[in-house]
A and B are shown apart, each in its own frame.
Chain A
Amino acid sequence: MPSTHATPRRRDVDLLDDERLLVALRRGDEHAFMALVDRYGALMLRVASMYVRTPSVAEEVVQETWLAILEGIGRFEGRSTLKTWIFRILSNRAKTRGEREARCLPFSACAPAGDSDDDGPTVDADRFLGPDHPQWPGHWAAAPRDWSTVPDVRLVSRETLGLIRDAIGHLPDRQQQVILLRDVEGWSSEEVCEALAVSEVNQRVLLHRARSKVRAELEDYLAEAEIGAVA
């Protein structure tokens, strides 16, 4: 049987928006299904990996989610977008699996994914003058440096972008999910709240912590580069 990958129809289908893919999918159009898998499969795997510890479990969750999508597509009423509906199913399943996984793993394997969100200031308190400073309490002691003097080629260099990916990878899971969908994928806050089942306020707190930490990593990195250049 010829591969379904190379047919021209497949490529046409890739350009359709989710709405039309949904119609085609309900008609039983295989190309529409594969286009959806192409569009969201990799992202689904990344999001699932933030709830569970084992890559093979994340893959299972994604597979199960697609089956659940096929089962449920007839009942999907379009109250949310197809995209957020898919990720809502995914995150529900992944969360359940992550909790089960955490119970089975030895104690040393640490808390369930997603439970390690922190609080406290997002900028080191040392950067500010103390509350009892006579003139400028809470003002910058060490103000941030202007990045507009850094050449753009440096900012968008492979090294800098790699550093950002690493920084995101080290965030607590829920912060990773939010910054990935909001700032990497460009989803709206409404879409993210719907997909991850978090409140609008919670979503914003997670986003703030995530962005602040990535900014801090960038700041350290760019400062080091500057010192390196002078030396």
Chain B
Amino acid sequence: MSAGDLGCQELVELVTDYLEDRLPRGQRRRFERHLLECEGCVTYVEQMRETIRLVGRSAAADPERVPGLELLLDAFRDWKREQLA
């Protein structure tokens, strides 16, 4: 590992910046160079991508109830009357 290269421990803290395309160009180059040589970090980045995918699938299946629907409807009708008045 030469000076200026990223270590794995640094890389894992940059993964989100990388995936969000927010790394400065030099940093991005170092990040990608590291990936070329490090299987562990390739796996780590893949795990983060997979995590994002699974989080996206994790939404609760049944929608939560919206509380106070009747009150809201009343409020809306009051509001409408005022608008028209």
Are the CB atoms of A30 and B76 closer together than 8 Å? yes
What separation, in Å, do the CA atoms of A215 and B13 have in the docked complex?
A: 13
Interface residues in A153-208 (C-beta closer than 8 Å to B): 155-156, 160-161, 164-165, 168, 179, 183-186, 189, 204, 207-208
Residues on B with C-beta less than 8 A from A179 are: 55
Interface stretch of the complex, out of A97-105, A109-117, A141-149: A141-149
Residues on A with C-beta less than 8 A from B69 are: 37
Are the CB atoms of A165 and B60 closer together than 8 Å? yes
Given contacts A121-B9, A164-B55, contact A219 B66 (CB under 8 A): no
Are the CB atoms of A155 and B12 closer together than 8 Å? no
B23 vs chain A, min Cβ distance (A): 11
What separation, in Å, do the CA atoms of A143 and B46 have in the docked complex?
A: 13
- Interface centre among B20, B22, B46, B58, by most A CB within 10 Å? B58
- Interface centre among B16, B17, B22, B57, by most A CB within 10 Å? B16
Chief secondary structure at chain B's binding surface: helix
What separation, in Å, do the CA atoms of A137 and B1 have in the docked complex?
A: 9
What separation, in Å, do the CA atoms of A211 and B58 have in the docked complex?
A: 13
Are the CB atoms of B9 and A123 closer together than 8 Å? yes
Q: Which residue of A lies closest to B11 (CB)?
A: A138
Interface residues in A22-41 (C-beta closer than 8 Å to B): 28, 30, 33-34, 37-38, 41
Interface stretch of the complex, out of A8-16, A61-69, A77-85, A86-94: A61-69
Given contacts A38-B66, A63-B68, A123-B12, contact A28 B84 (CB under 8 A): yes
Are the CB atoms of B40 and A147 closer together than 8 Å? no
Are the CB atoms of B83 and A28 closer together than 8 Å? yes
Query: Does B56 sit within 8 A of A, measured CB to CB?
Result: yes
Are the CB atoms of A184 and B58 closer together than 8 Å? yes
B55 vs chain A, min Cβ distance (A): 4
Query: Does B73 sit within 8 A of A, measured CB to CB?
Result: yes
Can you pick out 23 interface pairs between chain A and chain B where the beta carbons lie within 8 Å of each other? A28-B83, A30-B77, A30-B80, A38-B66, A45-B67, A63-B75, A70-B76, A122-B12, A125-B9, A139-B1, A139-B38, A143-B43, A146-B43, A147-B43, A148-B46, A156-B54, A161-B57, A168-B58, A189-B20, A214-B55, A215-B47, A218-B47, A218-B54
- Pick the 6 closest A-B CB pairs, nearest first: A138-B7, A143-B40, A41-B66, A208-B16, A140-B40, A42-B64
